Structure 1
Amino acid sequence: MPRFSIIVPVFKVQGFLRECIDSVLGQSYPDFEVIAVDDRSPDGCGAILDEYAERDERVRVLHLPENVGLGRARNAGLAEARGDYVLFLDSDDHYTPGLLAAVADRLKSAEDPDILVFDHVRTHWWGRGGPSDASPLLAAAGQDVFSLRESPQYAHLFLVAWNKAYRRAFFQEHGLQYAPGLYEDAPVTYRSMVLADRIACLNRIGVEYRQRRQGAITRTPGRRHFDIFPQYEGLFAFLEERDDLAWARPLLFERALDHMLFVIAREDRVTPSDRSAFYREMRSFHRTHCPEDFIPPDGPRGTEMRLLASSPYVSYAALRGARGLRRIAGAGKRRTVGRASAAAQRAWYVAQSRLPLDPRLAVYSAGHHAGVHGDPAAIHAKARELAPHIRGVWVVREDAVDSVPPGIDHVTPGSREYHAVMARATYWVNNVNWPGSLVKRPGQVHVHTHQGTPLKYMGADLLDKPGARHGFSVPKMLHRADRWDLSLVANRHSELVWDRAYPCHFTSLRTGSPRNDVLVEQPAEHGAAVRARLGIPAGNTVVLYAPTRRDYRRGGHVDRIDLARFAADLGGGHTLVVRLHPTLATGTARGLGLADLHARGVLVDATDEPHVEDLMLASDVLVTDYSALMFDYANLDRPIVVHADDWGAYAASRGAYFDITAEAPGHVSRSYRELAWLFASDTWQDEESAGLRTAFRERFCEFDDGRAAERVVRTVLLGEKTPEPRTAPAVPAPATERAHSLN
C-alpha cells in the first residue's frame, strides 16, 4: 500500500500535462501512486497518459467512457486509491520539488492528522506570480494540531482540493464525494474541515497554481456560475441535519456569502445581464440559511452582506458603481487622439461590416502581407482547383505587389478594398496574426497556419524571455490570437506547443503543413529547374545554408561561419546556397560581404527567393543552426547538419522546447572545424546521419503526407469530413536520384 495516492483529473490540458505529471514523478519521495483520470478528453491527453503508464508502474490511467466533469472525475480516481493519504492535483498545475518528502515528514510529526494543509503560489499566464494569502495562517499554526472549532480562522484557507492531503480512511468514513458542476471544492472542503478532529499545517509552497488565460472553466462567463448555489445548498442541508455542527453554521454562512459576492463581482464569471438574477439567488440563500446569531464582518464585504438582508439589486449595483467611479477618478482620464483619415477608414469598415458575409469569399495573407507564399499560398492554389466558386483575395503590401503572380486578386492594406474584403470574407487564412484593429465577425472562420514546427519559444512562453519579445506585446499578440478558429499542425509536438503558447479558444486540425505537400511529392523536374535558374552547374552537390536570427544580438544577425572559407573548403563539385532568415533580408547581414560573394560566384545568395520550398528541392543537404526550416526539410529525407556553436547562448536568450543538439536530425557541429570535417570526410551523409534523420522524421513529419492543402480545403471551405493523415512520413526516393535525375 503506497503512502500517497495522487489523483489527477485530466481534460483538454495537453499543453501542460507533461509538466504536471513530471512534477510528481520527479519527486524525491518515491512511495506514491498516480491515478490519472482521462475525463474523455478530446485532445491528446489520453495518449500522453498511456505513454507515462507504460514507462512508470506508479502511474495508472482511468479512461472514462464519457465526460463527467472535474468533481466526478476526482470521485472516480478516489474509488481506485490505495494510499494512506489522498492528494488531488489539477492537471494544469504542478508540484514543487521536494513537496511529498516534506508532506511525509509533517504527517509523521503530526501523528497522521485527518487533514494536512500546505501552501501554493499563483502563477499568472503573463508570467507574474505571487504568494497566497495563506502563508501567515500556516506559519501561525506551527507544529500544532487543531480542529476548526478551536481555530475558526482556518476556514479562510484557500477553498480548493489540491492544497491538502486527506487521510483516506477519514475521507471514506464520512462519505465525502465531489458533486457535479462548478465550485465543487466548496462543500467538500468545508465539510471535511468541520468534521476533522485533527488538522495540521505545512508552511511550504507545494503547488504552482497556474492562472490560465483561457480554458479555465471558472474564468468563462456564463450561467454555469449559478452552480455555486446548489453546491452551498448541499453543504447547508448537511449542516442543518447535524446539531453537533451548529457552531459551524455562522462561520460557514459568512464564508459562503463572501464566496458568492466574490463571484458576482467578477466580469469573467457573471455577465452583466445575469447579475440581477444572481443577486436574487444570493438573497434567497440568505433568507433560507442565515443563522440567528450571524453577525456580518466589518468593512466593505460586511456592508454588502447587510445589503443582501434588506435591499434589492439596484442598491448593490449603486454601491459597486460608486466604488468604480472613485477608481476612475483616481486613475485620471484617458486621452484618445485619432487622425481624420483613420476615422474615415474605420467608418467605412464599420459600414461594410453591416453587410452580409460573402460565403464565396476568402482572404489570404502571409508574412505580414509580404507576398503570395507559404501555407496560405498552398491552400489558395488547392482551393482554386477544388473550390473554384470561392474567390480568393490576397492582402499584399504595396512594396510587394510586383511579386504577385499574374491572375491573383489582391488588395493593399489600409485601402477601401482591403477593409471591404476583411469585413465581408467568410474565410481568413494567414500564417501570422491579422492587425488588432480588425474585428472578426460571427460566422467568419479564421484559419491560422503558423510558420513551421516550433523549436524556439513562442507566444506566452516568451513572457520570461524579455530580450526575445523586445518590441512587441505578448498580451496584444494573444488578443489577436483569440480570433483563431482553426490551428493547423504537422505533428503532435506542434499541437502541444500551440495549446500552451497560445492559451486561446481554437481547434487544432491535424492536417499537416500545406506548404510541405510539394516536398513530400518531390517533383524532380522542379528541383532541376530551380538549379538551372540559379545557375548551378549540372551534377554539383548543393549545400543549402539557412541560419536563423539571434535575439541576443542587436539586429538579429551573427556571423557564425566564414562563408567564403566554407565555400572553398567544400571544394569543386559543390555549390553553397545561402538563405538568410526573412527578417534579415534587408539588414546588416547583406552588407557583410554576402552580395559581393554572390557577385563573384563564390556562392549563391538566395535570400530573396520567394519560395523557400524551391531551394529545398534544389539542394542535397541542409546546414542550419536552429531554423524551423529543418522540420520541413526532413520531409525530403536528405541529410541535415546542425551547426550549434552557440546553442547555450541561443537557448538562454530565446528559450527552446527541447535540446536540438541531443535530438538532432543529423550530425551536430560545435565549431567550424567540426563542420568542415563533416563535409571533408563525407560523414554528413553516413549511416548514423540517416538513422538520426529517420527518428526525427517520425516525430516531426507525422502528418505531412502530401495532401495537407487538399485536407484544409475540403474540411474548411467545402465542409467535408476528411480522415486524419497517417502518422508516419512517406519514404521518398533517394535524395541523389531526386536531385539529379534531370541534370
Structure 2
Amino acid sequence: MDFYKVSVIVPVFNASKYISKTLDSIINQDFDSYEIIVVDDGSTDNSLEIIKETLEKTEIPHKIIHQENAGVSVARNVGIDESTGDYLVFIDADDHVTSKHLSTLYNGESDFSLILYVKEDGDRLIDMDTYTEDVISTYDFIRKELNMEITFNFFQLMYRASIIKDNDIRFTPGVVYGEDTEFAHKALSNGKEIVINNEVTYYYVQHSDSAIKSTEYRRFGVIEIFENLADFYNKNNKAELANLIITSRIPKAIFGNMNFFFHNGYDFDEVMAKMKELDLFTKLSRYQGDSKFKLKIRLFLLNPKMYYRTWMRLKNSI
C-alpha cells in the first residue's frame, strides 16, 4: 500500500456544473505526495463521468469510489476509511482552492493547521475572519469559538489522520445541518495545537440559484449537535466547554437562526411554533454572558411579537 503526506477527500453529489473546476484546482497543487479520494454519492447527473474524465488525465494518485446515495457524512467517512495520508483535507465538490492550498496547510508537525477562506458569490468575494495568533492550543481555540469570539469552518483545517482514526471520529450519518461542526470539535478536542496561516487558499462557493427557504428549519438542527457536543465534553472531563455550549453557544445559535428566518421572510407564528416544539425558549433563557445580548434575549422572551415587529422595522440594529 502506498502512503502519502496528505489525503484530499471530495464527496460528490450531482455536482456536474462544478466538479471539473474543483478537481482541476486540486490537481494543480505545488505540493508532492498527496492522493485524491473522490466519493460519488449516487449522483444522478453525469458527475461520475466528469470525475473519471478529469482524473484519468493526471498522474496524481487517486481513487474514485461510487456508492448508493447515503448522504455527505457517509461519503466523507468512506473517504476517511480509504485514505492513507498522514493528514486529511476536505474539499466540497462545488468549491475550489488555490495552487498553494496544501503547501500552505502542511507542516508535518502540528496536529492541525488552518488557512483562511472567502465566500465566492458570482463575481463577488466576501472576506471572512482573520486570526491574531500564529499558533493556538486546541482548547483555547474551541473556547473562543464557543464564545463566538472567532468563527471557522471545518474545511479550513488540515487534520492529523491518526487523531481521526485512532479516536474513531467520524461524521454522523443522517445529520443535515452541523455535522461538520461536530466532527471538527471532536477532532480538535483530541489534539494539542493549531498552526494558523492567514492566507486565503479556499474559495467557498455560494450559489445564487439555490433557494434560501430550501433549508426550511433544519438550521435549528445545530442545537442538537451542540447538545451532543456538551455531553461529549462532559464525558471527557471538559466541563468548562460543556457549560459554554449550554450558556453561550446554544442561545446564540438559536437567536441567530431565528433572526435569519425573520430576515428571509419566514412566517412569525410558524417560527414561534417550531421554537416551541424544540423547547428553544427554555434553552434561550439559559444565556449567561454579554449584558447587551442578554437584554435582547430578555426583551424577546417577554414579548416575542413586539420584538419581531421592532426587529422588522429596525432590522439588525437591535
What TM bracket, shorter-length normalisation?
0.7 to 0.9
The answer as to whether partners of 2:31 and 2:102 remain within 8 angstroms in 1 is yes
The answer as to whether partners of 2:105 and 2:114 remain within 8 angstroms in 1 is no
Using the TM superposition, give the Cα deviation of residue 284 of structure 1 relative to its aligned residue in structure 2, in angstroms.
6.2
Alignment of 1:212-291 (within 5 A): 212-215=207-210, 220-242=214-236, 244-253=237-246, 254-267=248-261, 271-272=266-267, 274-280=270-276, 281=278, 283=280, 286=283, 290=286
The answer as to whether partners of 2:142 and 2:185 remain within 8 angstroms in 1 is no
Match of 2:160 in 1: 167
How far apart are the structure 2 equivalents of 1:219 and 1:177? 29
The answer as to whether partners of 2:220 and 2:254 remain within 8 angstroms in 1 is no
Choose the corresponding residue for 2:115, options 114, 118, 137. Answer: 118
How far apart are the structure 2 equivalents of 1:37 and 1:317? 46
Shift of the 150–241 alpha-carbon distance from structure 1 to 2, 3 Å rule, reads same
Using the TM superposition, give the Cα deviation of residue 185 of structure 1 relative to its aligned residue in structure 2, in angstroms.
1.6
The answer as to whether partners of 1:148 and 1:154 remain within 8 angstroms in 2 is no
How far apart are the structure 2 equivalents of 1:317 and 1:296? 24
The answer as to whether partners of 1:240 and 1:246 remain within 8 angstroms in 2 is yes
Deviation string, structure 1 residues 525-555 (Cα, Å, up to 9, x no partner): xxxxxxxxxxxxxxxxxxxxxxxxxxxxxxx
Shift of the 297–328 alpha-carbon distance from structure 1 to 2, 3 Å rule, reads closer
Match of 1:186 in 2: 181
Deviation string, structure 1 residues 221-268 (Cα, Å, up to 9, x no partner): 4243343233223222222323x2102123333223322322222248
Match of 1:24 in 2: 26
Match of 2:126 in 1: 130
Match of 1:395 in 2: none
Match of 1:79 in 2: 81
The answer as to whether partners of 1:122 and 1:210 remain within 8 angstroms in 2 is yes
Alignment of 1:668-679 (within 5 A): none
The answer as to whether partners of 1:34 and 1:59 remain within 8 angstroms in 2 is yes
Match of 2:309 in 1: 321
Query: Is residue 2:63 matched to residue 1:60?
Result: yes
Using the TM superposition, give the Cα deviation of residue 150 of structure 1 relative to its aligned residue in structure 2, in angstroms.
7.6
Deviation string, structure 1 residues 636-663 (Cα, Å, up to 9, x no partner): xxxxxxxxxxxxxxxxxxxxxxxxxxxx
Query: Is residue 2:187 matched to residue 1:196?
Result: no
Shift of the 219–191 alpha-carbon distance from structure 1 to 2, 3 Å rule, reads farther
TM-score for both structures, normalised by structure 2:
0.85
Using the TM superposition, give the Cα deviation of residue 3 of structure 1 relative to its aligned residue in structure 2, in angstroms.
0.9
How far apart are the structure 2 equivalents of 1:200 and 1:231? 26
Deviation string, structure 1 residues 183-205 (Cα, Å, up to 9, x no partner): 21222222333332222211111
How far apart are the structure 1 equivalents of 2:77 and 2:299? 38
Using the TM superposition, give the Cα deviation of residue 152 of structure 1 relative to its aligned residue in structure 2, in angstroms.
3.0
The answer as to whether partners of 1:161 and 1:185 remain within 8 angstroms in 2 is yes
| Amino acid paired to 2:310 | A
How far apart are the structure 2 equivalents of 1:230 and 1:316? 23
The answer as to whether partners of 2:254 and 2:280 remain within 8 angstroms in 1 is no
The answer as to whether partners of 1:85 and 1:167 remain within 8 angstroms in 2 is yes
Deviation string, structure 1 residues 321-356 (Cα, Å, up to 9, x no partner): 213213599xxxxxxxxxxxxxxxxxxxxxxxxxxx
How far apart are the structure 2 equivalents of 1:189 and 1:5? 17
Shift of the 287–261 alpha-carbon distance from structure 1 to 2, 3 Å rule, reads closer
Deviation string, structure 1 residues 140-177 (Cα, Å, up to 9, x no partner): 112x3423248832554434321110101111222211
The answer as to whether partners of 2:223 and 2:253 remain within 8 angstroms in 1 is no
Deviation string, structure 1 residues 122-154 (Cα, Å, up to 9, x no partner): 1113x221210x21x2xx112x34232488325
Shift of the 53–22 alpha-carbon distance from structure 1 to 2, 3 Å rule, reads closer
Query: Is residue 2:136 matched to residue 1:148?
Result: no
The answer as to whether partners of 2:40 and 2:64 remain within 8 angstroms in 1 is yes
Using the TM superposition, give the Cα deviation of residue 316 of structure 1 relative to its aligned residue in structure 2, in angstroms.
3.3
| Amino acid paired to 1:249 | A
Shift of the 121–249 alpha-carbon distance from structure 1 to 2, 3 Å rule, reads same
Match of 1:668 in 2: none
Match of 1:373 in 2: none
The answer as to whether partners of 1:264 and 1:278 remain within 8 angstroms in 2 is no
Using the TM superposition, give the Cα deviation of residue 211 of structure 1 relative to its aligned residue in structure 2, in angstroms.
1.2
Using the TM superposition, give the Cα deviation of residue 121 of structure 1 relative to its aligned residue in structure 2, in angstroms.
0.8
Count, aligned residues: 306
- In structure 2, runs of 5+ residues without a counterpart are none
Match of 1:207 in 2: 202
Using the TM superposition, give the Cα deviation of residue 28 of structure 1 relative to its aligned residue in structure 2, in angstroms.
0.9
Alignment of 1:575-654 (within 5 A): none
The answer as to whether partners of 1:3 and 1:85 remain within 8 angstroms in 2 is yes
Shift of the 118–52 alpha-carbon distance from structure 1 to 2, 3 Å rule, reads same
The answer as to whether partners of 1:8 and 1:74 remain within 8 angstroms in 2 is yes
How far apart are the structure 1 equivalents of 2:110 and 2:292? 35
Deviation string, structure 1 residues 423-477 (Cα, Å, up to 9, x no partner): xxxxxxxxxxxxxxxxxxxxxxxxxxxxxxxxxxxxxxxxxxxxxxxxxxxxxxx
Deviation string, structure 1 residues 608-648 (Cα, Å, up to 9, x no partner): xxxxxxxxxxxxxxxxxxxxxxxxxxxxxxxxxxxxxxxxx
Q: Provide the secondary structure at the position in 2 that maps to 1:141.
A: coil
Alignment of 1:173-572 (within 5 A): 173-179=166-172, 180=174, 181-215=176-210, 220-242=214-236, 244-253=237-246, 254-267=248-261, 271-272=266-267, 274-280=270-276, 281=278, 283=280, 286=283, 290=286, 295-300=288-293, 302-306=294-298, 311=301, 315-327=303-315
- Higher relative contact order by CA 8 Å / sep ≥ 6: 1 or 2? 2
How far apart are the structure 2 equivalents of 1:298 and 1:37? 47
The answer as to whether partners of 1:176 and 1:188 remain within 8 angstroms in 2 is yes
| Amino acid paired to 2:144 | Q
The answer as to whether partners of 1:37 and 1:64 remain within 8 angstroms in 2 is yes
How far apart are the structure 2 equivalents of 1:328 and 1:228? 22
How far apart are the structure 2 equivalents of 1:61 and 1:215? 27
| Amino acid paired to 2:179 | E
| Amino acid paired to 1:114 | D
Q: Provide the secondary structure at the position in 2 that maps to 1:33.
A: strand
